Amino acid sequence: MTKFNRTLVTTALPYANGPVHIGHLAGVYVPADIYVRYMRMKGEDVLLIGGSDEHGVPITIKAKKEGVTPQDVVDKYHNIIKDSFEKFGISFDVYSRTSSKIHHETATEFFETLNEKAEFIEKSSEQFYDSEANQFLADRYITGTCPHCKNEKAYGDQCESCGTSLNATDLIDARSAITGNKPQLKETKHWYLPLDKYEPFLKEWILEEHKEWKPNVYGQCKSWLDNGLHPRAVTRDLNWGVPVPVEGADGKVLYVWFDAPIGYISATKEHTPDWEKYWKAEDSKMVHFIGKDNIVFHCIIFPAMLKAEGSYILPENVPSNEFLNLEGDKISTSRNWAVWLHEYLEEFPEKQDVLRYVLTANAPETKDNDFTWKDFQARNNNELVAIFGNFVNRALVLTHKYFGGLVPEAGELTDFDKETLAQIPVLKAEVEKNLETYHFREALKVAMNLARLGNKYLADTEPWKVIKTDEARVKTILNISLQISANLSTLMEPFLPFTAEKLRGFLNIDRIEWADMKDVVIPVGHQINKPELLFEKIEDATIQAQVDKLEATKVANELENRVATPVKENINFDDFMKMDIRIGTITEAEKVAKTKKLLKIKVDTGVDTRTVVSGIAEHYKPEEIIGKQVSVLMNLEPRKLKGIESQGMILMAEDADGKLAFVSPEKAVAAGSEVR
RNA sequence: GGCGAGGUAGCUCAGUUGGUUAGAGCGCAUGAUUCAUAAUCAUGAGGUCGGCGGUUCAAACCCGCCUCUCGCUACCA
């Protein structure tokens, strides 16, 4: 810690095509905020940087779908996101956006510098082009028939029906999503960052010099580095983004992953003219808070970019969290399976700290975790209310009851008093140690121990009994209880800033610096205010309403899935009769080596025994399907899969969740029976 | 299939230079208590540390194989 004189903390830029949810908060913004609040309280020079990531293809598609401009889309979500963060107390020094002028300038300049230093490779390749729309088509802008599952609405990068990732050129009957025309292949030039050039440097820097990074981060980097790095394109053919600042590069923009991390630099610039100090001075420490999906960008690609530029420092640590699930399922924006922050703020007014607490206590630091409303309720009622809120309430109520709200004078301290007070610096040090090593869950638990300590102190000293015989002793006890309460407001401040503020209001005191946490922080004779409740219990009905809301989402999703595949166009009887479907009996089945999904199956079709490769290994084990009668499409064009020729297709029924089942006759029939 | 991360009490997690009876919080049980939002305090029950095998005087921790979860990746319905 002595090595550095200032700290720059960045948080992953949320993508501005939707609002933010609890997963964002738990994985990135709450831990980052805790960290910087702590450092500020210690008087350190620290900046918290954030902003919206507003470029990229999905935003242009969303805009098109809604009939608005991409700028309209990002304006809308940038404001919602920014507002949610503000209300949750994420204390950004600056929350910027990548569509801003300053970012365009910064990114342009960054690209130009690398270009002048000849750090890029220029390469041409053939890509689909829509001549009517007069533009190259990003993979997402191309639709066509999936070569595997025959879904007619597959995208150029992925078929969402069968989950296969595709190349646009794989699609059968590819169409432009803009005009519906058949696109042509046309040559286009792009700039590539030769990551392979930095491989030796990155290996040394990460694998040797940063063994202290979290295991998931270190392991992921090692995996990438061991597999070998390749040049990556930093530009795309698109008209939404930062234009490539080179003569003749019309219609090309910087690729989002190149553009977005530069957003950290632009945001810092926007905040202070002194930005270079944070980004370039050797005694500056940079920390990136991100989710696990971003590890490769922040540990490999962005450092390579910074290194190529030459004048920037590299991150000292990249504390990346795993994912937060919701009630057992993955959080999903498109499936609306999320607790949206802007909705929470409306439904649980003034309870930002409750969510901050729960998300920190249950943060996905080492593995994916599950957020449940029941756990939310339990932590609020059993921990915040019962331990923290209750202790403060006891101390304040007793002070008002016996001494009219004036801080009483402490007399001679007993050994127990001294032991109790001695715990304050011990807990403080333990919280520090955990925060500085990014163990926020543990840090919060330790901080709560101060409230536990208070409760134990009151239970053991029993002032409500002692008051009958020894008022002076009670003065001492309550003085100490109030000192603990005041220290709690400081120790909890990084985690629960709203609560800390409220507590200081009860105690009628100003903010206490981190270093000033100690046995005496409130003077004798100080008037404290009438306390209210620090936290309220959350009733079953409130929780049930949230669970019901999610349940409704699930039902709505199912309904949507059901109508998702409309009935195809009518065909005539002859077309139908072209298909030769027969019942066959599976005689052999084995897993295809080096695949996860494929089984090589031999089927007795009555006329022959043929080999069919089928992607059902995740649903059926080879041994359990032998002897099964199944439907086989006999006259499907043979296709080679993993070097094995598949002669036909076994028909499967697939439900909305992707579960597969054979289409089998309801009673045994002769092999080769035709299906009509 | 390859690679990475994880699999420790009912739940959420700590726990490495391998060393006495494996820890915490919540939940649960019992007792105490009433200042406090029936909150608190004490005590206790509860674990073959995913499975099998190996190294060692000694393994949750090291090695091998297997298995489950999550992610990345692969000529993959």
Quick check: A161 pLDDT over 60? Answer: no
A532 CA: nearest nucleotide by C1': B37
- A508 in contact with nucleic chain B (CB within 7 A): no
Using CA atoms, how far apart are residues A220 and A208, in angstroms rounded to an integer? Answer: 15
Residue A215, pLDDT score: 86
Pick A558 or A670 by higher pLDDT: A670
Q: In Å, how far are A305, A368, A611, A672 from A309, measured between CA atoms? A: 6, 36, 56, 68
Query: A135-136 and A121-130 as β-strands: parallel, antiparallel, unpaired?
Result: antiparallel
Residue A480's pLDDT band (boundaries 50, 70, 90)? very high
Whether the CB of A314 is less than 7 Å away from nucleic strand B comes out as no
- In whole angstroms, what separates CA A164 from the centre of its chain? 23
Check if the beta carbon of residue A613 is closer than 8 Å to that of residue A642: yes
Give the mean model confidence (pLDDT) for residues A521-531: 95
Q: Between A393 and A576, where is the model more confident?
A: A393
A660 touches strand B (CB under 7 A): yes
Q: What's the average model confidence in pLDDT over A532-536?
A: 95
Span CA (A455) to C1' (B34), Å = 13
Q: What is the pLDDT of residues A8-41, one digit of tens each?
A: 999 999 999 899 999 999 999 999 999 999 999 9
- The residue that leads in pLDDT, A357 or A137, is A357
Q: Answer for A663: CB within 7 Å of strand B.
A: no
pLDDT band at residue A353 under the 50/70/90 scheme: very high
Distance A167 CA to B2 C1' (A): 22
Instruction: Taking residues A246-262, report their average pLDDT.
Output: 90
Q: Is the CB of A42 under 7 A from strand B?
A: no
The answer to whether the beta carbon of residue A616 comes closer than 7 angstroms to any atom of strand B is yes
- Is residue A484 within 8 A of residue A399, CB to CB? The reply is no
Question: Are residues A419 and A479 in contact, defined by beta-carbon separation less than 8 angstroms?
Answer: no
- Proximity of residue A189 CB to strand B below 7 A: no
Beta bridge partners of A580: none
Q: Whose CA is closest to A12, among A261, A338, A360?
A: A261
- Calculate the angstrom distance between C1' of B3 and CA of A215: 14
Residue A170: both structure tokens together: 């794989």
Q: Please write down the HEC assignment for all residues of A492-530.
A: CCCCCHHHHHHHHHHHCCCCCCHHHCCCCCCCCCCECCC
State how far the Cα of A296 lies from the Cα of A373, in Å rounded to an integer: 32
Q: How confident is the model at residue A154 (pLDDT cuts 50, 70, 90)?
A: low
Distant-in-sequence, close-in-space partners of A28: CB < 8 Å, separation ≥ 6 = A11, A12, A289, A290, A291, A321
Give me the CA A382–C1' B11 separation in Å, rounded. 14
**Is the model's pLDDT at A576 over the cut of 90?**
no
CB A331 within 8 A of CB A23: yes
- Which nt is closest to the CA of A442, judged by C1'? B14
pLDDT at residue A167, rounded to an integer? 63
Q: What is the pLDDT of residue A1?
A: 45
Closest nucleotide (C1' vs CA) to A531 is: B36
Nucleotide nearest to A389 (CA to C1'): B37
Q: What's the order of all strands across the beta sheet hosting A284-291?
A: A94-97, A45-52, A6-11, A284-291, A320-321
Strand B bases with any atom < 7 A from protein Cβ: 1, 3-7, 11-14, 24-27, 33-37, 39-42, 69-72, 74-77
- Average pLDDT estimate for A594-621: 80
Query: Following DSSP, what letter does each residue of A327-370 receive, concatenated?
Result: TTEE-BTTTTBS-BHHHHHHHSTT-HHHHHHHHHHT--SSS-EE
Whole-number Å distance between alpha carbons of A42 and A443: 16
CA of A29 to C1' of B25 (A): 24
Q: Return d(Cα A575, Cα A580) in angstroms, integer.
A: 11
Q: How confident is the model at residue A308 (pLDDT cuts 50, 70, 90)?
A: very high
Residue A463, both tokens: 């002032």
d(CA A348, CA A550): 16
Query: By mean pLDDT, which of A48-62, A316-330, A405-419, A592-606 is the weakest?
Result: A592-606
* Strand B contact at CB of residue A362, distance < 7 A: yes
- Using the CB atom, is residue A323 less than 7 Å from strand B? yes
**CA at A420, C1' at B43: how many angstroms apart?**
22
Nucleotide nearest to A393 (CA to C1'): B36
Cβ A327 to strand B below 7 Å: no
Which of A181-190, A414-423, A459-468 shows the lowest mean pLDDT across its residues? Answer: A181-190
| Closest protein CA to C1' of nucleotide B40, residue | A455
Distance A594 CA to B16 C1' (A): 35
Strand B contact with A181 (CB < 7 A): no
Over residues A198-208, the pLDDT tens digits come to 999 998 899 88
Could you tell me the pTM of the whole model? 0.85
Which residue's structure tokens are 């002032």?
A463
A636 touches strand B (CB under 7 A): no
User: What share of chain A in percent tops pLDDT 70?
Assistant: 90
A551 touches strand B (CB under 7 A): no
Protein CA at A462 to nucleotide C1' at B44, angstroms: 24
Among all chains, which residue has been given the structure tokens 């985690």?
A: A495
Question: Kindly report the CA angle at A454 between A449 and A459, in degrees rounded to 5?
Answer: 125
What pLDDT, on the 0 to 100 scale, is given for residue A223?
85
Residue A419 has which token pair?
């032991």
Q: How many residues does chain A have?
A: 676
The mean per-residue pLDDT over the stretch A499-507 comes to: 97
The pLDDT, as a whole number, for residue A39 is 96
Within A 437-456, residues with CB less than 7 Å from strand B: 441-442, 445, 452, 455-456
Say if residue A136's pLDDT is above 80: no
Backbone angles phi, psi at A188, to 5 degrees: -145, 150
Share of chain A above pLDDT 90, in %: 56
Residue A593 has a pLDDT of 66
* Residues A246/A247/A253/A259 CA torsion (nearest 10 deg): 10
Minimum CA–C1' distance nucleotide for A219: B4
Q: Over 80: is that where the pLDDT of A601 sits?
A: yes
Which residues 195 to 254 of A reach strand B, CB within 7 A?
A: 215-216, 218-220, 222-223, 226-227
Nearest to A351 by CA among A373, A325, A387, A380: A380
Averaged confidence pLDDT in chain A: 88
Confidence of residue A562 (pLDDT cuts 50, 70, 90): low
Quickly give A367 CA vs B68 C1' distance in Å.
15
User: Residue A284: helix, strand or coil by DSSP?
Assistant: strand
- Which nucleotide lies at the shortest CA–C1' distance from A386? B39
Report the pLDDT averaged over residues A463-479. 96
Chain Cα centroid distance, residue A62: 21
- CA/C1' separation A218–B54 (Å): 29
Quick check: A329 CB within 7 A of strand B? Answer: no
What kind and span of H or E run contains A571?
none
Q: Is the CB of A167 under 7 A from strand B?
A: no
CB A309 within 8 A of CB A118: no
Query: Nearest CA to the C1' of B25 belongs to which residue?
Result: A445
CA A532 to C1' B40 (Å) is: 19
The separation, in Å, between residue A48 CA and nucleotide B52 C1' comes to 50
Minimum-distance nucleotide, CA of A646 to C1':
B77
